[in-house]
Amino acid sequence: MPEQIADVCVAADAGPTLLYVHDREFGSATFVDQQAPTDPRERALCRALLLHALALLDATEPASTNGTGR
């Protein structure tokens, strides 16, 4: 398992958050639910990670029983 977020030296204000860690060595991170990364490469990586996470969530959704497909 990857190191804990606390090891990156970044603290959220409160509650759940989405954190994109740019550089673990220096603790560089962006709370992507509050501000988007500005570097084009970082934006592409962040977007790919978010899409991957959404695909994982979709794959574990229970089958719909109301006929809507979700």
- Domain limits of the chain? 5-59
Return mean pLDDT, the chain: 78
pLDDT for position 1: 35
pLDDT for position 22: 79
pLDDT for position 57: 93
Burial of residue 20, with CB atoms counted within 10 A of its CB: 0-12 exposed, 13-18 middle, 19 or more buried: buried
Cα distance between residue 42 and residue 63, in whole Å: 34
The whole-model pTM stands at 0.62
The answer to whether 37 touches 43, Cβ cutoff 8 Å, is yes
pLDDT in tens for each of the 70 residues of the chain? 355 555 555 565 666 778 888 777 766 888 888 888 888 999 999 999 999 999 999 999 988 666 565 5
Both tokens of residue 47?
Answer: 């977007």
